[in-house]
Amino acid sequence: QQQVKQSPQSLIVQKGGISIINCAYENTAFDYFPWYQQFPGKGPALLIAIRPDVSEKKEGRFTISFNKSAKQFSLHIMDSQPGDSATYFCAASKDRGSTLGRLYFGRGTQLTVWP
């Protein structure tokens, strides 16, 4: 059972355009929603994360939009660059008191930015 559903599976964007990746979850106990970027041969690297007490978080060209009632969140990459070409994963977890909870990952989105 996929706890976090991610779409699209692949995305092609022109340089300077906006890349949008969407995720949905079912478990309302989730309270931490990170996005990871993974390049070939590397492990996932934390890009940006949000907690459900805010609806949007922006860091540079990356923005997370969060809709608690719809149980959806999305990643927007503004002014997309060829160097952004990578696989992006959304994830979710729930704190377990004093311990960081396990991550549930989406299946990933392969982003290609054309120069």
Amino acid identity, residue 23? C
Q: What is the four-CA torsion angle of 42, 76, 10, 34, rounded to 10 degrees?
A: 50
Closer by beta carbon to another protein, 62 or else 89: 89
Task: List the beta bridge partners of residue 38.
Answer: 87
The H helix count followed by the E strand count for the chain is 0, 11
Is residue 100 a contact residue for another protein (CB under 8 A)?
yes
Q: Which of 105, 111, 113, 114 binds another protein (CB under 8 A)?
A: 105
Number of residues interacting with another protein: please give it, by CB under 8 A: 26
DSSP SS3 for 84: helix
Site for another protein, residues 1 to 60, rule: CB under 8 A: 4, 6, 32, 34, 36, 41-46, 49
Q: How far is the CB of 32 from another protein (least distance, A)?
A: 8
DSSP SS3 for 83: helix
Binding site for another protein (CB under 8 A): 4, 6, 32, 34, 36, 41-46, 49, 89, 91, 96, 98-108
